[in-house]
Structures are given as C-alpha cells and as structure tokens.
Amino acid sequence: MKQYISVIILAAVMTGGVANAQSSKKGFTKIFDGKTTKGWHTYGKTTAGSKWIVQDGALHFNPKGDKNGGGDLVTDNEYSNFHLKIDWKIAPKGNSGIIYYVKEEPAKYSQTYSTGLEMQVLDNEGHNDGKITKHRAADLYDIIKSSSEPVKPVGEWNTAEIICKDGKLEHYLNGVKVVSTTLWNEEWKSLVAGSKFANWADWGTFKSGKIALQDHGNEVWYRNIMIKKL
C-alpha cells in the first residue's frame, strides 16, 4: 500500500514539474526551430550565410569556409516590446554578441551594430575585450557594466534573457539580473554621449527592430531561442 501511495506522489510531483516547465515557457514563441535557419538571414541579404550552420540543435558560427559566407544573422521579423530567451556558448578566446533594435537598412547602416544595442557574449578571460570595462559577458556593450558576473566557464552553456518594455530594459544571465536601465530618456542620452557611440547617428534610438547574432570571426553557438511579445 505504501509503495502504491509513493508512486502516486511521485507521479504527481513529476507531473507538476512538467507543468511548471511548460508554464515557464507560456507565451513564448520559438524563433529558431533547432533544425534550419528558417526565420533568419544574413544582414542585408535574403538567406543565411554558409558559415552559419545548424548542429546538434544549435546555430553554430564556424569561421572557416567561404569567405563570403559570414556576416551577422538577423531575424526576419522586427520586435518592439519583448522578452527574449537564448542560450549561448563561446569558444576559447571568442567574442560575439546578441544585438537588438537593429534597423536593417544596409545602404544607410552598414552593420547591425550601427543601430542596435548589444548584450556582450565573450570569453572574459581569453579575449582582450575582457580587459575593458563594459565589454565583458552580459554587459550592455560599452554602455553599462554588469552588476555581477554569473557567467559560466568558457565552453559551457549560458542562458541569457533580454527584457524590454516601454523603454525599461533588463539583461539577465543564468537567472541573475545584471543590467537595468531606461532607454531613450535624458539619462540614456547621457550614457550614449559618454560611450564610443556618441557620434554614431541614430545609434540606440530605434524602438523597434530586428535581433541579430554577431559574426565576430570566432566560433559561437546559440540554441533555445524564443521570444514573447510584451
């Protein structure tokens, strides 16, 4: 009898666990199917470059191969108020980034980072950018330093989240909030004025845009990419 009750309790716990896992994803839409580059393309082009390959359920940037097969990967769709979840893993000495609010007008803006904000993806100890304040993993690149560094060792998966609603911006890394700010107000303009983007026309001004995964010339992997419109 006791064994029977234990089985029922165990089943209930397991069922609850599944329900909780499902509810945590409620409202989110996958924007990477784990099998193809559908929904993504290289910035300024119509398809994904050949250096972006799908491998073991992840988008893998492999810097080897066709010299014309690189470039930042961007979503087909634009987003304004959103909650993005994404796992990333970087190779030793690697550098990449998750760039958002990208205005895709290549004739006017040559790169995704010409307009978009960046959550840094980096091997903090192996890459030279790790020596620069506001250039380390999960920082709002060159604008705000993370309040802590819950990043995992190079080669391990990290879970990043970017939440922005009506200008209220937050970065999370592995469940820890590391950046919080308000976009587009006077304080934001002051932050930009003190950064490398001070003289970049239109940088950080768009309230809707595409999401990009950066080709910085180093191996990087992204998976479990999902978004919720807020």
Edge-to-edge strand ranges of the sheet holding 73-75: 40-42, 73-75, 210-213, 95-102, 117-122
The span from the CA of 99 to the CA of 203, in Å, is 12
Domain spans of the chain, in order of start: 1-28, 31-229
The span from the CA of 114 to the CA of 122, in Å, is 20
**What kind and span of H or E run contains 197?**
none
Output the six-digit token pair for 53: 């390959």
Q: How far is CA 120 from the centre of its chain?
A: 8
pLDDT at 173: 98
pLDDT at 203: 98
Question: Which among 81, 126, 121, 127 has a CA at the least distance from the CA of 101?
Answer: 81
Output the six-digit token pair for 185: 């107000």
User: pTM here?
Assistant: 0.89
Nearest 10 degrees: Cα torsion 220, 39, 106, 208: -100
Q: How far is CA 113 from CA 6, 13, 107, 192, in A?
A: 56, 46, 14, 14
Which CATH class, in words, describes the domain spanning 31-229? Answer: mainly beta
pLDDT at 3: 44
pLDDT at 67: 86
Question: For each of the chain's 230 residues, which pLDDT tens digit applies?
Answer: 444 434 333 343 333 433 333 335 789 999 999 999 999 999 999 999 999 999 999 999 999 988 899 999 999 999 999 999 999 999 999 999 999 999 999 999 999 999 999 999 999 999 999 999 999 999 999 999 999 999 999 999 999 999 999 999 999 999 999 999 999 999 999 999 999 999 999 999 999 999 999 999 999 999 999 999 99
